[in-house]
Amino acid sequence: MKQPEDWDREIRMPLASDADASPAVVEFSLTAAVTKVDADPDGSEVTHWAYNGAVPGPMLRARVGDRVRVYFHNQLPEPTTIHWHGLEVPAAMDGADPEHHAVAPGERFEYEFVVPHAGTYWYHPHMNSAAQVWRGLYGALIVDPADAEAAAEAALGAEAVLILSDVSVEAGKLEELDPDDLLAAFFGHQGKLLQVNGRTLPTLRVRAGVALRLRFINAAISRYFRLGAEGQKLTRIAGDSGFISQPEPRESILLVPGERTEVVLVPEGEVGRVFLVESLPYDRMICGGSCETSASPLLRVEIVETGGEAQALPTTLAEIEAIDLSGAVEHTIAMTQDERNGDGAFGLNHQLYPEAPFSLNASVGETHVWTIDNQTDYDHPFHLHGFRFQVLDQDGKKPALAEWKDTLNLPRHSKARIATRFDDRPGMWMLHCHILGHAELGMMGMLHLSSSGEAEHAH
Ligand code: C2O
Ligand code: CU
């Protein structure tokens, strides 16, 4: 049994159309420009920076193994890039290295890469990124499994992609981030209005008893969301990059900036019942007084029909083999509290981006185990570009389930060990805190990955 027609009307995002006829190639066009966008809650127009005139930008969708080509045109008044968060693209397509990959105002760039893993991903700029993402430049990129597996996924229910963010609009204007306000960057600037796909408290109209698959993306520049659903059961099924090993019943799920989670929710209740999907309080220790102390509503779910019968979820969602750690190279990366010209800053091993960034060398084919050691008094979401990783332990405890991640919260004064294997995509890769103001204050470093030949040469 299905969800009612138009059940997701209030949150549906434009889907980018595929301009290429061949089945294994998808071609999209994205233009970033200063645009007026209908802003919630009152529907007045507010000037944003947007991809294809919409906030969020259009949803891009491809299948595992597809070649994705994106014709990008920068019509913004400043340089930008597109970074494909969580995707294993070649370094030259990662949109992360401003020195080589900045797309100047008026210029075009063609991104091209193959998508190897199903999952919920997203795209955003990687230059002046706190300000650019804040102004509206973000969108979803969903990679669907190849045909055979796709049928099995149908049991997981009707799907909604939900990009969470926050904004502040005053007197018809989007609040501007003040680049000189280093304290705001240190706190991690938060908007006053919580948004789902650019809407404030939208409503889903659903049938009770039928599974909903909700794919959440945290695109906020600083805000943590701790997801809960009033009186309803949440079952987590996927993380940053595809299914977790088994369905995991949860009371709430912390979703930090950059991170993704997928849940199955089977709405329960009679016609007319309304419940909220909300963000529950979470203290990342540094919100400048703006951390929530009570639940904030994100989404209304209204039961408009009953009579559904949910199918049981499979007991195994994915076979995730543990990374072979033999011969692994070990490093420790400390998240540090530092100073720059007397102002508070954050660094990696006390090194500050951009003037003296932390850097690390690796060779293609190596497996690395990194201890991420958060020595600061605040939480930070650690993100590695280009390579997904497995968490070996966090504060000495092995995770309950196997999964692939690219963004991991490090609570204050805690440690985690992660493992990753570097496949044949040499180049420069960034790693940073995904509170974008923190990355700009210095908590960003570089991984220089050389092809094994080059490395042998150097020895
Ligand atoms: Cu989503 Cu380097 O970022
Ligand atoms: Cu941080």
Phi, psi of 152 (to 5 degrees): -60, -30
> Is the N-terminal amide bond of 297 cis, ω within 30° of 0?
no
Tell me which residue has tokens 């889907």.
15
The pLDDT score that the predictor gives to residue 457 is 46
The pLDDT score that the predictor gives to residue 22 is 87
Instruction: Say yes or no: CB of residue 258 within 6 Å of ligand 1.
Output: yes
Distance from the alpha carbon of residue 2 to the mean position of ligand 1, in angstroms:
36
Instruction: Say yes or no: CB of residue 85 within 6 Å of ligand 1.
Output: yes
One digit per residue, pLDDT tens: the chain, 459 residues? 789 999 999 999 999 988 888 889 999 999 999 999 987 667 789 999 999 999 999 999 999 999 999 999 999 999 999 999 999 999 999 999 777 789 999 999 999 999 999 999 999 999 999 999 999 999 999 999 987 666 667 667 889 999 999 999 988 899 999 999 999 999 999 999 999 999 999 999 999 999 999 999 999 999 999 999 999 999 999 999 999 999 999 999 999 999 999 999 999 999 999 999 999 999 887 665 556 678 999 999 999 999 888 788 999 999 999 999 999 999 999 999 999 999 999 999 999 999 999 999 999 999 999 999 999 999 999 999 999 999 999 999 999 999 999 999 999 999 999 999 999 999 999 999 999 999 999 999 999 999 975 544 444
| Ligand nearest the Cα atom of residue 374 | 2
Instruction: Say yes or no: CB of residue 432 within 6 Å of ligand 1.
Output: yes
The pLDDT score that the predictor gives to residue 424 is 96
Smallest CA-to-CA distance from 163 within 246, 71, 57 is with 57
pTM of the model: 0.96
Distance from the alpha carbon of residue 154 to the mean position of ligand 2, in angstroms:
38
Instruction: Say yes or no: CB of residue 430 within 6 Å of ligand 1.
Output: yes
